[in-house]
Amino acid sequence: MPASSVTSSPSAAPPSAGRPTAAELLDFVLRTAADQALVDSLPLDPEGRTWVRLDGPGGSEAWLIGWPPGTGTGWHDHAESVGAFATARGSLTEHSLAVRLPAGGWKTLELAEDLDRSRRLGAGDGRAFGRDHLHEVLNPSPDAHAISVHAYYPPLPLIRRFSRTGPVLRLEQVERPEDWQ
Protein backbone atom coordinates (compact mmCIF):
# COMPACT_ATOMS: atom_id res chain seq x y z
CA MET A 1 0.00 0.00 0.00
CA PRO A 2 1.47 3.36 -0.94
CA ALA A 3 1.64 6.00 1.78
CA SER A 4 1.10 9.68 2.22
CA SER A 5 2.33 12.01 4.93
CA VAL A 6 -1.24 13.04 5.77
CA THR A 7 -2.88 11.23 8.67
CA SER A 8 -6.31 11.40 10.20
CA SER A 9 -7.87 9.77 13.23
CA PRO A 10 -11.60 9.06 13.13
CA SER A 11 -13.11 8.23 16.50
CA ALA A 12 -12.71 4.56 17.24
CA ALA A 13 -13.86 2.29 20.02
CA PRO A 14 -10.94 0.70 21.85
CA PRO A 15 -10.24 -2.81 20.54
CA SER A 16 -10.52 -5.80 22.84
CA ALA A 17 -7.24 -6.87 24.47
CA GLY A 18 -5.31 -4.29 22.41
CA ARG A 19 -5.30 -6.45 19.25
CA PRO A 20 -8.15 -5.60 16.93
CA THR A 21 -10.04 -8.52 15.45
CA ALA A 22 -11.28 -8.62 11.87
CA ALA A 23 -14.77 -7.78 13.21
CA GLU A 24 -13.42 -4.73 15.06
CA LEU A 25 -11.56 -3.61 11.95
CA LEU A 26 -14.79 -3.98 9.98
CA ASP A 27 -16.60 -1.81 12.52
CA PHE A 28 -13.84 0.80 12.21
CA VAL A 29 -13.86 0.90 8.39
CA LEU A 30 -17.66 1.09 8.25
CA ARG A 31 -17.76 3.98 10.74
CA THR A 32 -14.89 5.75 8.99
CA ALA A 33 -16.50 5.28 5.55
CA ALA A 34 -19.60 7.04 6.94
CA ASP A 35 -17.52 10.12 7.91
CA GLN A 36 -18.54 12.31 4.98
CA ALA A 37 -16.15 15.15 5.84
CA LEU A 38 -13.17 12.77 5.86
CA VAL A 39 -14.27 11.09 2.62
CA ASP A 40 -14.76 14.48 0.95
CA SER A 41 -11.25 15.57 2.02
CA LEU A 42 -9.51 12.93 -0.10
CA PRO A 43 -7.94 14.47 -3.22
CA LEU A 44 -8.90 12.49 -6.31
CA ASP A 45 -6.72 12.01 -9.37
CA PRO A 46 -8.34 11.12 -12.72
CA GLU A 47 -5.41 8.86 -13.65
CA GLY A 48 -4.30 6.95 -10.55
CA ARG A 49 -5.31 5.90 -7.08
CA THR A 50 -4.84 8.37 -4.24
CA TRP A 51 -4.54 7.57 -0.55
CA VAL A 52 -4.26 8.99 2.93
CA ARG A 53 -2.95 6.98 5.87
CA LEU A 54 -5.30 6.90 8.86
CA ASP A 55 -4.78 6.06 12.51
CA GLY A 56 -6.42 2.67 12.85
CA PRO A 57 -7.61 1.10 16.11
CA GLY A 58 -5.19 -0.76 18.35
CA GLY A 59 -2.10 -0.06 16.26
CA SER A 60 -3.64 -1.25 13.01
CA GLU A 61 -2.67 0.15 9.63
CA ALA A 62 -5.51 2.00 7.91
CA TRP A 63 -6.00 3.84 4.61
CA LEU A 64 -8.55 6.03 2.84
CA ILE A 65 -8.21 5.25 -0.89
CA GLY A 66 -9.58 6.91 -4.02
CA TRP A 67 -10.12 4.73 -7.09
CA PRO A 68 -10.43 6.33 -10.55
CA PRO A 69 -12.81 4.64 -12.98
CA GLY A 70 -11.56 1.26 -14.18
CA THR A 71 -8.65 0.91 -11.72
CA GLY A 72 -7.79 -2.04 -9.51
CA THR A 73 -5.18 -3.64 -7.30
CA GLY A 74 -4.36 -6.81 -9.18
CA TRP A 75 -4.20 -10.11 -7.31
CA HIS A 76 -2.47 -9.81 -3.92
CA ASP A 77 -2.53 -10.97 -0.31
CA HIS A 78 -1.77 -9.32 3.04
CA ALA A 79 0.58 -11.92 4.53
CA GLU A 80 -0.39 -12.75 8.12
CA SER A 81 -2.64 -9.73 8.67
CA VAL A 82 -6.39 -9.80 9.19
CA GLY A 83 -8.24 -6.96 7.57
CA ALA A 84 -11.41 -5.24 6.49
CA PHE A 85 -12.49 -2.70 3.93
CA ALA A 86 -15.63 -0.70 3.24
CA THR A 87 -16.81 1.34 0.30
CA ALA A 88 -17.52 4.97 1.21
CA ARG A 89 -18.53 6.19 -2.25
CA GLY A 90 -19.23 4.45 -5.54
CA SER A 91 -18.91 0.70 -5.91
CA LEU A 92 -16.05 -1.79 -5.75
CA THR A 93 -15.87 -5.40 -6.90
CA GLU A 94 -13.78 -7.94 -5.04
CA HIS A 95 -12.64 -11.17 -6.67
CA SER A 96 -11.14 -13.63 -4.20
CA LEU A 97 -9.96 -17.20 -4.05
CA ALA A 98 -11.19 -19.62 -1.40
CA VAL A 99 -7.78 -21.20 -0.90
CA ARG A 100 -4.93 -21.01 1.59
CA LEU A 101 -1.64 -20.54 -0.23
CA PRO A 102 1.60 -22.15 0.88
CA ALA A 103 3.69 -19.77 3.03
CA GLY A 104 6.63 -19.74 0.64
CA GLY A 105 8.93 -21.67 -1.61
CA TRP A 106 6.74 -21.57 -4.70
CA LYS A 107 6.47 -19.43 -7.82
CA THR A 108 3.58 -21.05 -9.70
CA LEU A 109 0.47 -22.91 -8.54
CA GLU A 110 -2.29 -24.59 -10.50
CA LEU A 111 -5.61 -23.85 -8.80
CA ALA A 112 -8.45 -26.30 -8.43
CA GLU A 113 -11.87 -25.48 -9.89
CA ASP A 114 -14.59 -23.65 -7.96
CA LEU A 115 -12.26 -21.48 -5.86
CA ASP A 116 -13.36 -18.15 -7.34
CA ARG A 117 -15.62 -15.83 -5.37
CA SER A 118 -16.90 -12.38 -6.40
CA ARG A 119 -18.84 -9.71 -4.55
CA ARG A 120 -19.90 -6.14 -5.18
CA LEU A 121 -19.59 -3.63 -2.35
CA GLY A 122 -21.64 -0.48 -2.81
CA ALA A 123 -21.42 2.62 -0.62
CA GLY A 124 -21.85 1.58 3.02
CA ASP A 125 -20.94 -2.08 2.38
CA GLY A 126 -17.88 -3.68 3.91
CA ARG A 127 -16.25 -7.02 4.53
CA ALA A 128 -13.70 -8.49 6.88
CA PHE A 129 -11.18 -11.20 6.06
CA GLY A 130 -8.76 -13.43 7.87
CA ARG A 131 -5.13 -14.23 7.34
CA ASP A 132 -4.12 -15.77 4.03
CA HIS A 133 -6.82 -13.89 2.08
CA LEU A 134 -6.01 -13.56 -1.62
CA HIS A 135 -8.00 -11.09 -3.70
CA GLU A 136 -8.15 -8.26 -6.19
CA VAL A 137 -10.30 -5.17 -5.80
CA LEU A 138 -11.61 -3.16 -8.75
CA ASN A 139 -13.60 -0.03 -9.47
CA PRO A 140 -15.66 -1.32 -12.42
CA SER A 141 -17.26 2.05 -13.18
CA PRO A 142 -16.36 3.53 -16.57
CA ASP A 143 -16.92 7.10 -15.34
CA ALA A 144 -17.09 7.47 -11.54
CA HIS A 145 -14.50 7.43 -8.77
CA ALA A 146 -14.95 5.12 -5.79
CA ILE A 147 -13.57 5.75 -2.30
CA SER A 148 -12.91 3.09 0.34
CA VAL A 149 -11.43 2.61 3.80
CA HIS A 150 -9.06 -0.31 4.58
CA ALA A 151 -7.54 -1.53 7.87
CA TYR A 152 -5.06 -4.34 8.67
CA TYR A 153 -3.66 -5.86 11.84
CA PRO A 154 -0.89 -6.41 12.42
CA PRO A 155 0.36 -3.63 10.15
CA LEU A 156 1.27 -5.17 6.81
CA PRO A 157 4.64 -6.94 6.96
CA LEU A 158 4.50 -7.47 3.20
CA ILE A 159 2.18 -7.80 0.23
CA ARG A 160 2.65 -10.57 -2.30
CA ARG A 161 1.48 -9.69 -5.82
CA PHE A 162 0.33 -12.35 -8.28
CA SER A 163 -0.64 -12.72 -11.90
CA ARG A 164 -3.29 -15.14 -12.99
CA THR A 165 -3.93 -16.92 -16.27
CA GLY A 166 -6.88 -19.28 -16.00
CA PRO A 167 -6.11 -21.75 -13.21
CA VAL A 168 -2.42 -20.75 -13.00
CA LEU A 169 -1.41 -18.34 -10.23
CA ARG A 170 2.13 -16.95 -10.39
CA LEU A 171 3.97 -15.06 -7.66
CA GLU A 172 5.30 -11.92 -9.37
CA GLN A 173 6.56 -9.62 -6.63
CA VAL A 174 6.92 -9.22 -2.87
CA GLU A 175 6.53 -5.68 -1.56
CA ARG A 176 7.70 -4.63 1.89
CA PRO A 177 6.58 -1.56 3.89
CA GLU A 178 9.56 0.49 2.73
CA ASP A 179 8.20 0.09 -0.82
CA TRP A 180 5.03 2.04 0.00
CA GLN A 181 5.93 4.24 3.00
pTM: 0.87
- Dist. CA 54–CA 60, nearest whole Å: 9
Nearest alpha-carbon partner for 158 in 172, 177, 130, 132: 177
What's the confidence (pLDDT) of residue 152?
Answer: 97
Question: In which residue ranges of the chain is pLDDT below 50?
Answer: 1-15
pLDDT at residue 145 in the model: 97
pLDDT given for residue 17 in this prediction: 59
pLDDT value at position 107?
92
* pLDDT for res 8: 43
Q: In what order do the strands lie in the sheet with 126-129?
A: 7-8, 50-55, 61-67, 146-153, 82-89, 126-129
What are the Cα distances from residue 120, in Å, to 89, 96, 180? Answer: 13, 12, 27
Domains and CATH numbers, the chain: 7-180 (2.60.120.10)
The per-residue pLDDT for 12 is 42
Q: Give pLDDT, residue 116.
A: 94
